[in-house]
Amino acid sequence: MTPYTSLAGAYDALMADVDYEAWARYALSLLALNGIKKGARILDAACGTGKLTLPLAKAGYALTGADVSADMLRFASEKARKAGLNIPFIRQRLEELSVHRPQDAIVSACDGVNYLASEDEVRAFFTAARNALAPNGVLLFDISSRYKLKHVLNGRQFGDDLEDVACLWQNVYDERSHLLEIDLTLFIRQGKAFERFRERHIQRAHTASELTRWMRVCGLEPLGVYGFLTAEKPGRKAERIQFVARRRT
């Protein structure tokens, strides 16, 4: 099963405590800092339900959203329609991004790159992103750090109990492969009853040095590696790391 199938309808409720407004302001500041002006074409890759896509479009950029999950795209498209925004959404994997017109920037937020579970998959994404960008186009993406997957999530179980959805989330990290297996059990209200669903997600704990090296191999020049929501280098215990790169011409 593709991740974010059963989870798609419950995703926004479960992520309600995430400050997406701050996330969007941070992305907008990085875009402006790197010369991406209003009206520029931006591809939001692994866009999910559009929690970042819509704020960027409202800020004056020409957005396209892409995601592997048709269910997530359905919710994103409905949100855009209700907001009166003309945003095309396409079903694509990160490793297979393809656009009709070169993009001035590509954004991939909230762990999309963690779902690329091998060097080959990451390099395929970087190559596809490079090819989809206009000359000097900018790539922004963030990851959950190796520290977070190994020391914060590993071996722990989390739970949410909301009005229309409950979720149990178990995590097991493998030291040799650097893969985190996430086992989700969801109970989603269907009328007067709750239906049980299960999803299995796999994320890889990439390091900053790996990612910057692979970017260079794939024709991208790293411009910055930051602790999330900052302009500073990430600390040893940083749980989220932001990357900025530019297409080499």
| Per-residue pLDDT, 4 | 58
For all residues of the chain together, what is the average pLDDT?
94
Global model pTM greater than 0.85:
yes
- Average pLDDT over every residue of 189-197: 88
R_g of the chain computed on alpha carbons? 18
CA distances 66 to 52, 62, 74, 144, 235, Å, are 12, 14, 11, 20, 31
| Predicted confidence (pLDDT) at residue 62 exceeds the cutoff of 80 | yes
108-151 pLDDT, tens per residue?
999 999 999 999 999 999 999 999 999 999 999 999 999 999 99
Average pLDDT over residues 203-218: 98
Does position 2 have pLDDT exceeding 60, yes or no? no
Burial (CB < 10 A; 0-12, 13-18, 19+), residue 85, is middle
**Confidence band of 9 (pLDDT split at 50, 70, 90):** confident
Stretch (H or E) spanning 240:
strand 240-247
- Alpha helix ranges (H) inside the chain: 8-14, 20-33, 53-58, 70-82, 119-132, 146-147, 208-217
For the chain, domains (ranges, CATH) are: 8-145+207-247 (3.40.50.150), 148-203 (2.20.25.110)
Say whether 91 sits in a helix, a strand or coil: strand
- Residues facing 103 on adjacent strands: 133
